[in-house]
Amino acid sequence: MTNSTGKINVLMVCLGNICRSPSAHAVFKKLVADAGLSEIISVESAGTGSYHIGEKPDKRSREAAKKRGYSLRGIRAQQLQVEDFSHYDYLLAMDENNFASMLAMAPKQYHHKIRLFMEFANNAAMAVPDPYYSGADGFELVLDLVEEASAGLLSHIKQQDLH
């Protein structure tokens, strides 16, 4: 265990918290549940921007997720807060812009917790591209990438944090 909550706390972060990070949140949450680790690993999501606070995930994300057996129900957009850097153990940026915003906001002592989510994927892509202005393929690509990175993240946490 890595902190006082007794859990490993993971925060998925994008810009709006309505497309990529809610998708990553739901995909990783299901993987954790299927592995029987929901009591040990907790996952949430947030956006660096404030535009969509309180909104449901984008309908296109909800529909694409549902087709693959994931539910985004109950997720509402929230903005990343400075307190999140102490609470969470892994704060995972969907792209380099999110990563830079998070580093700019976080006290230096927490910089090591901030990573690009795609670092955990066995894939050359280093970012989950913003699908907001894309067609349906953009939303499928988000799911392909976050499924891969989620699998890598769970293996990493099992090796690094759970013994």
| Closest separation in Å from C-beta 94 to ligand 4NP | 6
Q: Closer CB to ligand 4NP, residue 2 or residue 49?
A: 49
Q: What is the spatial distance between Cα 14 and Cα 96, in angstroms, rounded to a whole number?
A: 10
Q: Which string of b and e fits 104-114 if b means at least 16 CB within 10 Å?
A: eebeeebeebb
Residues that bind ligand 4NP (CB under 6 A): 14-20, 47, 51, 130, 132
| Closest separation in Å from C-beta 50 to ligand 4NP | 10
Which residues have a catalytic role annotated?
14, 20, 130
Q: What is the spatial distance between Cα 61 and Cα 130, in angstroms, rounded to a whole number?
A: 12
| Closest separation in Å from C-beta 98 to ligand 4NP | 7
C-alpha to C-alpha distances, 46 to 59, 78, 82, nearest whole angstrom: 17, 5, 12
Q: Closer CB to ligand 4NP, residue 47 or residue 113?
A: 47
Closest CA to 91 of 31, 37, 45, 140: 45
Report the residue closest to ligand 4NP, judged by CB: 16
Q: Closer CB to ligand 4NP, residue 1 or residue 100?
A: 100
